[in-house]
Structure 1
Amino acid sequence: MNSIIQCLSGTIPLARYFISGTYKNHINGKNPLGTGGVLAKSFAELLSVMWNDNYNFISPVTFRKSLIKFAPQFSGTEQQDSQEFLNFLLDGLHEDVNTVIRRPSPTLESPEEEAAFEKLPDWKASGIAWEKYLARNASLIVTLFQGQYRSRLRCLSCNTTSTTYNTFMSLSLPIPAKRSGPPSVSLFQCLDYFVKEEVLEKDNAWNCPTCKKRRRATKSLTLSRLPDVLLIHLKRFSFDGPFRDKLETMITYPLKGLDLSGYVPSTMTDPSQERPSFNYDLYAVSNHYGSLTGGHYTACVRNKYRDQWHNFDDTRFSVCDEDKVMSRAAYNLFYVRSTVR
């Protein structure tokens, strides 16, 4: 909890939103998926105390009580996964400040509508899917953290395609290495592995709507929209049959100038609009040390006002050398678009 909260506290646009009290204008007390604002209020109070110079340390007892009332899975003392905690917390905050009061009922598209959607330019199809999502989900959490990727199936017999656009809060990247694999891989290799085209065949063959039978098909993922704050989860915990393992592979990642423009095709940008920047700077890392059964989390967070990296290790705080920010323990990476202030 400490590791993730320190990283979120270092997310300046988010901290500003809660500490200033702006969030109060957006509390949705009628949302059955939210907490009636209880979680948002306790999170805002926690950040306010953390950013107050009057305290050397704090114990987030009130915040934890608010949290476990709605997420009893975090009530014990056993180790939890920081990625799950991060996603739950952001989802809970989103539902508390989701400004959509009445969500439109989901509608099923006819085969004709689906066929027409397939023929749209990428940027238009992506935009329509995003607007549909915003009709049900509108909050600062969505604005800051949520992106979109395109998943496309293509029949290898008749070339029929089926395309869906999905939102994500964080990119969960597989690590292309086994225990006996290379000592280190780059973040770009993880991204390449994530978007690598896959062939579906035999038991996984696609039921092609044109051929009216199961066919060999390709499945490809493409990033279609990237958020201002990009969360990257490195999938260190692998599941190989009945065995669970932790990959200690060193992942190399840039601290500044992560360029993702090569992963968002130019067809995803409206030709009449200027293409956004896809350059990102690292500002926080949540680290996991140890094994599956017992481990320890720390955080490295950049204080942009002092231009220093700070290390948070439960009861210990220290200034961290920049060359120590990258380590084998990196589990969640927090990047911000270079143009965001």
Structure 2
Amino acid sequence: ATFGNTCYCNSVLQALYFCRPFREKILAYRSQPRRKENLLTCLADLFHSIANQKRKVGVIPPKKFITRLRKENELFDNYMQQDAHEFLNYLLNTIADLLQEERKQEKTNGRLANGTLDSQNNNSNATPAPTWVHEIFQGTLTNETRCLTCETISSKDEDFLDLSVDVEQNTSITHCLRGFSNTETLCSEYKYYCEECRSKQEAHKRMRVKKLPMILALHLKRFKYMEQLQRYTKLSYRVVFPLELRLFNTSGDATNPERLYDLVAVVVHCGSGPNRGHYIAIVKSHDFWLLFDDDIVEKIDAQAIEEFYGLTSEISKNSESGYILFYQSRD
């Protein structure tokens, strides 16, 4: 693409296009009455032109989408390489906000039309109802803290649209997710204020997955700030991500304790650091795998996915390693 460094955007859009529930919602959205242009309408137009492409091959540059993106967020308004994860995050949150805004408008218009006030929706502070973005991507984590003196557990839920996990050398995604819910002891100056004991106490703290989403977007934290280098470096660690992932909701009250996920797309970071480098996407289409490198598409063997796990040797070598993984739940 000639309009700057847009592979961070292309790779994420290609990955999302192959997340079927998401693509279907976007295309359905486009068939509704037209609204004024925003990031969502631009994305819907782009997906529509890909879906209705008559030719078997060809390139559709996301010009309108990128122009809109740059207009709306100065973070992306330059020709520099951006972080694909930041872009994914911004995109999903923006779409959800736009949908909620539209719903609010429709309600207001509906109220004006029939002249009656809908009392329950009149509360402007109410949490907006979840959108289809939430229905597809949102999971819930629960942060549990147990006071070691009185054993009282206090827990706080937080929702996520994607999950960021720490990486270590020679591990697997399952291992990273397990590390996510390791118990941490809060002691000495980090003691926890226990409401029950009314004083600071030692406590155990852990994060657990309370609700798994329909599509689990996993972000591997491969960029780490190195004090001695005064810059971010890339962790090219080898992290194995299987084509099929069995996950457990780790909190006790989970409704569906076990879910089977299939890998549907991967955004791969190529290069040795965050600001230089390149992104490509591997996606599953029908029953085969495709590799998208901006406007070049090639079919790859499922076996070849192993090349994107990372490296076992050097820490910041130039590598092509999985950065964002999209897993879709079977049920």
- The equivalent residue for 1:248 is 236
Displacement, 1:215? 1.5
Which amino acid letter does the alignment assign opposite residue 172 of structure 1? Answer: S
Q: Taking structure 1 as reference, are residues 232 and 160 closer, same or farther at Cα in structure 2, changes over 3 Å only? A: same
**Partner residue of 1:150?**
142
1:81 matches 2:83 = yes
Change (3 A) 1:195 1:299: same
1:186/1:251 contact within 8 Å kept: yes
Map 1:168-207 to 2 at 5 A. Answer: 168-175=160-167, 177=168, 182=169, 184-207=170-193
Structure 2: segments with no counterpart, 5+ residues: 1-8, 105-120, 311-320
Q: Does 1:298 align with 2:280?
A: yes
- Cα deviation code 1:287-330 (max 9, x no counterpart): 001122311100001112xx111100013110111111231210
- 2:15 is aligned, of 7, 10, 14, to 7
Given that residues 299 and 313 in structure 1 are in contact (C-alpha distance below 8 angstroms), is that contact kept between their aligned partners in structure 2? Answer: yes
1:217-266 C-alpha deviation (Å, 9 max, x unpaired): 1111111111111100111112344453211111112102x1112x4345
Structure 1 residues 87 and 265 mapped into 2: Cα distance closer, same or farther (>3 Å)?
same
Offset of residue 49 of structure 1:
1.2
Measured on the aligned residues, the alpha-carbon RMSD in Å equals: 2.2
Moved over 4 A (4+): 102-106
TM-score, with structure 2 as normaliser: 0.81
Q: Tell me which of 49, 72, 76 is aligned to 1:70.
A: 72
For structure 1, the residue ranges without an aligned partner over 5 or more in a row are: 30-35, 107-131, 270-274
Q: Write the deviation string for residues 171-213 of structure 1: whole angstroms up to 9, x where unpaired.
A: 11111x2xxxx4x211111011111011112222111222222
Q: Percent identity?
A: 30
Q: Distance in 2 between matches of 1:69 and 1:53?
A: 27
Cα separation, partners in 2 of 1:47 and 1:76, compared to 1, 3 Å: same
1:281 matches 2:262: yes
Amino acid at match of 2:283: V
Q: Would you say how many aligned residue pairs link Structure 1 and Structure 2? A: 289
Within the candidate set 305, 308, 324, 2:304 is matched to 324
1:260 aligns with 2:240: no
Deviation for aligned residue 1:137:
3.8
- Shift in Å at residue 140 of structure 1? 0.7
TM superposition shift of 1:22: 5.8
